[in-house]
Structure 1
Amino acid sequence: MKLISAVLANPHCKVEKLWLVECCITDEGCAALASALRSNPEHLRQLDLSGNKLRDSSLKCLSTVLVNYCCKLEKLWLGYCGFTDEGCAALISALRSNPEHLRELDLSGNKLGKFDLRLLAALLANPQCKIEILWLRDCDLTGEGCPALTSAVRSNPSHLRELNLSWNILSKSDVKSLLDLKDDPHCKLERLKYESTTSS
């Protein structure tokens, strides 16, 4: 990771897509990557770190990149990385500071059960937020935050097209208000996945 990071930090490097899926990246490697991207944040458009065991401290390092107004990342995949609600809160806080570029966000498979979905809802409600695809599959989420998500999408309905809430602790009644958005002519939501771990 240090060798790769040295390349990415070079101001002449214009890598736009970086996929490092299941590469056993450690916190130390993620810190080196974040440092490189802080030095040269303008070109990267896609970053996939799925399947690496990144703790909350790694998410906080990455957040220092995302908060930079020169960062124009459009797709960020962090599925099954092992971080918790604390790391997610730092990530969403960074995106709220620089919300204009991201189009896809995958946080699936991380233990976010204690994460306050109202923080994510505040990001989605921002008219500058242009996220089109959001995956929160298998995150131990409950229906408590669904009303906040619904309100956010209603207030900023022009962008979100796909929302995946599958394999969380949700009932159909929890997501009913989100399902209703698909019939709203002002809302762009086309696909809502919510297969639940519960039987209700």
Structure 2
Amino acid sequence: MFGCLVNIPSLRELNLSNNNLKDEGVKMLCNAFGLPACQLEKLNVASCGVTLVRGFHFNSILKELDISRNHLGDSDDWADVLFCLSSLETLRLSDCKLTEKCCGVLVKALSSNLTNLKELDLSGNDLGDRGVKTLYMGLTSRCCSLERLL
């Protein structure tokens, strides 16, 4: 199915939220849409049963990514994905079971690669006091274009 969608050159936005794609389905999606010919700018895979993002390769021109309501947890694997998304302007990670451990990784990604990010949604996660402090310290001490933090 994803291979067919890639052949639509005008496709810029794809919403697959609330589908039971699971890890393997999203991985196949990423492999298809990671091709150079793909012009996809917005991808929504919220509530798709994703738990592991190791090996996901999103297209580097992606501007908006919503992976909310997936159980990503504190695995460092999803952080690797962030370093490939230099054009990203909106990242939604609400209700992903993230904790304070992920905050340092987010700050590092924001300061080194996600310099175009305008909106970051971390609502519904248990970041704790130390996690929020890490975010605050990182966002105020680094060159960051973030305009909206949820």
The residue aligned with 2:4 is 36
**2:10 alignment partner, SS class:** coil
**2:55 alignment partner, SS class:** helix
Offset from partner CA, 1:124-161 (integer Å, 9 cap, x none): 5xxxx110110111111122121121012112363011
Larger helix percent: 1
CA pair 63-173 structure 1, distance change in 2 beyond 3 A: same
What is the distance in 1 between the residues matched to 2:120 and 2:102? 14
Match of 1:106 among 61, 66, 86: 66
**Residue identity in the other structure for 1:113:** G
**Residue identity in the other structure for 1:109:** R
**1:89 alignment partner, SS class:** coil
Judge conservation of contact 2:89–2:116 (CA < 8 Å) in 1. yes
Identity rate of aligned residues, in percent?
A: 39
Q: How many residue pairs were aligned?
A: 149
What is the distance in 2 between the residues matched to 1:161 and 1:70? 26
Rg larger in 1 or in 2?
1
**Residue identity in the other structure for 2:107:** T
Task: List runs of 5+ in structure 2 lacking aligned partners.
Answer: none
Q: CA RMSD in A?
A: 2.0
Structure 2 length-normalised TM: 0.87
Offset from partner CA, 1:88-133 (integer Å, 9 cap, x none): 2233xx12xx41x111000000111153243134335xxxx11011
The residue aligned with 1:73 is 40
The residue aligned with 2:54 is 89
Q: Which has the higher contact order (CA 8 A, sep 6+)?
A: 2
Task: List runs of 5+ in structure 1 lacking aligned partners.
Answer: 1-31, 194-200
What is the distance in 1 between the residues matched to 2:74 and 2:138? 25
What is the distance in 2 between the residues matched to 1:141 and 1:123? 20
